[in-house]
Amino acid sequence: MHFNPYGGAAAELAVRLVNADPDADLLQLLDESGYKPLRSLNAGQIAELRRWIARLDEVFTAPSVDLLNALLSETTSRPYISTHDGRKPHMHYSDESAPTDERVKAYTAAGLAELFCEDPARIGRCARDGCGIVFVDTSRNGRRRFCSTRCSTRVHVAQHRVRASA
């Protein structure tokens, strides 16, 4: 499935943030995700992003209009059209001069909201017991239930063993 940049790249950034190790270097993670422009993060901004990541995690557990509207209301979102770096016109949801944590919050909230509006079932958490990995379902049929083939195989092998032993 093709998503617009906010429903795609921004939602994927939300996935990477939620799935990241709690001690991960957030600035490095943002850089590796291609998030630009990137500036430094002070201790307060890191703490705020970690709080935000916990809020994003809630969306993957139970996406809803109320939850996403609450996230959007927490941001300093001011949508505008940008044409930076030779790119064609595209939407930005916070001022490029805003602190990195504020821009990440606006970007990820808008991305998950766009994705939810297109198809709420595309926001997922792995269905294997004990796996907390979240994902954005970009499959053609939109029926993804597991984070990976490995988790899917584990569940299906376990189900096969139960049936075979019965």
Structure tokens at 90: 């595209």
Low-confidence residues of the chain, pLDDT below 70? 1-7
Max CA distance (Å), the chain: 63
Q: Give the pLDDT of residue 58.
A: 96
Structure tokens at 126: 């792995």
Q: Give the pLDDT of residue 82.
A: 85
Q: Give the pLDDT of residue 68.
A: 97
Q: Give the pLDDT of residue 76.
A: 84
| Domains in the chain: ranges and CATH | 5-119 (1.10.3300.10)
Q: Give the pLDDT of residue 95.
A: 87
Pick the closest to residue 38 from 51, 25, 50 (CA basis): 25
Q: Give the pLDDT of residue 6.
A: 44
pTM, 2 dp:
0.86
Q: CA–CA separation, 112 vs 161, rounded Å?
A: 38
